[in-house]
Chain A
Amino acid sequence: GENVEQHPSTLSVQEGDSAVIKCTYSDSASNYFPWYKQELGKGPQLIIDIRSNVGEKKDQRIAVTLNKTAKHFSLHITETQPEDSAVYFCAAQGDNSGYALNFGKGTSLLVTP
């Protein structure tokens, strides 16, 4: 089945700096790559996603890039703010897994003022 690796597991940045989280996946049939943000005591919430026919997508301070050849994708957060502090999960979904998402282990991001 699909195996998603996520790095780093923890990331600490100063407010205003950029943060980058990277993921790799194993199943070349995967075609949908969402990123979820989980705040303490809450369920994961989608923040941005990308499909395999697109190389990059941006939404305000958040961007995601996808390299299908290398089977990796990344989340970029610019001008970080303390409220960006949370756990971020990447996921991959493809035909072999139906509509089930396979998640990375998560990255705990801390933005210090």
Chain B
Amino acid sequence: DAGVIQSPRHEVTEMGQEVTLRCKPISGHDYLFWYRQTMMRGLELLIYFNNNVPIDDSGMPEDRFSAKMPNASFSTLKIQPSEPRDSAVYFCASSPGHPNTEAFFGQGTRLTVV
């Protein structure tokens, strides 16, 4: 398996624009997680899905952020409108769930909002 695949690897956008980050989890994994990494706050959980259903979105910072998982092999994280403080590295991870709960991370998307 190629692992968790994220796209794009880098994104630079202007404030106010819509940004869509994409993730393909490892085949057969039931859980998908979106994390945000910044120097100040470290790795923060934004939202996670189980079998394509959102389970906990309490980490989503505000209504400008939304995430979907239309099928088992694809998820998106959308920011609309984007702001400079959204600049961070966004990671997608997947996990097969119990009993093996290791999370496998993608390479991340580095987002810069100017």
Could you tell me which A residues sit within 8 Å of B by CB distance?
32, 34, 36, 41-46, 49, 89, 93, 97-106
Contact = CB atoms under 8 A, between A and B. Distances in A.
B102 A100 contact: no
Given A42-B107, A99-B97, A100-B56, A34 B102 contact: yes
> Which size bracket describes the interface of B in this complex?
20 to 34
A93 B93 CA distance: 15
Interface stretch (B11-19, B42-50, B69-77): B42-50
Contacts, number: 52
Given A44-B43, A104-B42, A106-B42, A99 B48 contact: yes
Contacts of A103: 35, 42-43
Per DSSP, are chain B's interface residues mostly helix, strand or loop, or mixed?
A: strand
Interface of B: 4, 31, 33, 35, 42-43, 45, 48, 50, 55-56, 91, 93, 95, 97-98, 101-108
The 10 closest A-B pairs by CB, nearest first: A43-B105, A105-B42, A103-B43, A44-B105, A46-B102, A100-B48, A100-B45, A99-B31, A43-B107, A43-B108
Contacts of A42: 107-108
Given A44-B105, A89-B43, A93-B101, A98 B91 contact: no
